A = this chain, B = another copy of it.
Amino acid sequence: MSIEKSVEKSIKNLLSDGIKATPPSFVRGILRAASDPGVISFAGGLPNPVSFPQEELLVSMERVVKTHGSKVFQYSVTAGLPELRQYIADRYDQMFGLHLTAEHVVITTGSQQALDLIGKVLLDRGDGIIVEKPTYLAAIQAFSLYQPVFYPVELTQEGMDPAKLAVALQNPVKFVYAIPDFQNPTGLTYTAENRECIRDILKGRDVVLIEDDPYGDLRFDGERLPYIGAGALPYSIVLGTFSKTVTPGMRIGFVISENTKLLKNISIAKEAGDLHTNIFSQYLIWDYLMNNDLDAHIAKIRALYKKQAQAMMDAIERYFPPAVRYTRPHGGMFLWVTLPEGVSAMELFPKALEKKVAFVLGDPFYAHERAGENAADARCVNTMRLNFTNADCAAVEEGIRRLGEVLSAL
Interface, chain A (partner B; CB < 8 A): 7-8, 10-11, 13-19, 22, 24-25, 28, 44-47, 49-50, 52, 54, 57-58, 61-62, 65, 69-70, 72-78, 109-110, 112-113, 116, 120-125, 127, 138, 141-142, 144-146, 174, 206, 208, 234-235, 243, 247-251, 259, 261-262, 265, 268-269, 271-281
Chain B residues near A281 (CB, 8 Å)?
278, 280-281
> Please, which residue of chain B has its CB at the minimum distance from the CB of A280?
B249
- In the complex, the answer to whether B72 meets A65 with C-beta atoms within 8 Å is no
Given contacts A121-B19, A122-B16, contact A62 B58 (CB under 8 A): yes
Chain B residues near A16 (CB, 8 Å)?
120-124, 127, 146
Cross-interface CB contact of A116 among B14, B250, B274, cutoff 8 Å: B274
Besides the known contacts A49-B70, A112-B275, 11 further A-B residue pairs in the complex with CB atoms under 8 A apart: A14-B122, A17-B124, A19-B120, A28-B77, A50-B70, A58-B65, A74-B248, A109-B274, A110-B275, A120-B145, A141-B272
Chain B residues near A261 (CB, 8 Å)?
8, 11
Which residue among A122, A125, A247 has the maximum number of chain B CB atoms within 10 Å of its CB? Answer: A247
> Please, which residue of chain B has its CB at the minimum distance from the CB of A265?
B19
Chain B residues near A259 (CB, 8 Å)?
11
> CA of A45 to CA of B44 in the docked complex: distance in angstroms?
40
Report A172 CB to chain B, min CB distance, Å. 10
Given contacts A11-B262, A123-B16, A124-B16, contact A112 B274 (CB under 8 A): yes
Q: How many copies of this protein are present in the complex?
A: 2
Chain B residues near A146 (CB, 8 Å)?
16
Report A283 CB to chain B, min CB distance, Å. 9
- In the complex, the answer to whether B76 meets A249 with C-beta atoms within 8 Å is yes
> Please, which residue of chain B has its CB at the minimum distance from the CB of A273?
B116
> Please, which residue of chain B has its CB at the minimum distance from the CB of A53?
B73
> CA of A176 to CA of B394 in the docked complex: distance in angstroms?
56
Chain B residues near A249 (CB, 8 Å)?
72-76, 278-280
Given contacts A57-B73, A58-B65, A247-B73, contact A142 B13 (CB under 8 A): no
- In the complex, the answer to whether A28 meets B271 with C-beta atoms within 8 Å is yes
- In the complex, the answer to whether B13 meets A206 with C-beta atoms within 8 Å is yes
- In the complex, the answer to whether B52 meets A70 with C-beta atoms within 8 Å is yes
> CA of A58 to CA of B68 in the docked complex: distance in angstroms?
13
5 contacts between A and B (CB under 8 A): A44-B75, A45-B75, A54-B70, A54-B73, A110-B275
Chain B residues near A50 (CB, 8 Å)?
70
Chain B residues near A142 (CB, 8 Å)?
272-273
Chain B residues near A122 (CB, 8 Å)?
14-16
> CA of A247 to CA of B61 in the docked complex: distance in angstroms?
16
- In the complex, the answer to whether A251 meets B271 with C-beta atoms within 8 Å is no
> CA of A73 to CA of B73 in the docked complex: distance in angstroms?
19
> Please, which residue of chain B has its CB at the minimum distance from the CB of A143?
B272
> Please, which residue of chain B has its CB at the minimum distance from the CB of A17?
B124
- In the complex, the answer to whether A206 meets B144 with C-beta atoms within 8 Å is no
Chain B residues near A72 (CB, 8 Å)?
249
Cross-interface CB contact of A141 among B123, B208, B271, cutoff 8 Å: B271
> Please, which residue of chain B has its CB at the minimum distance from the CB of A23?
B268
> CA of A208 to CA of B15 in the docked complex: distance in angstroms?
11
Given contacts A268-B22, A277-B251, contact A73 B58 (CB under 8 A): no
- In the complex, the answer to whether B206 meets A14 with C-beta atoms within 8 Å is yes
> CA of A273 to CA of B117 in the docked complex: distance in angstroms?
8
> CA of A123 to CA of B16 in the docked complex: distance in angstroms?
5
> Please, which residue of chain B has its CB at the minimum distance from the CB of A19?
B121
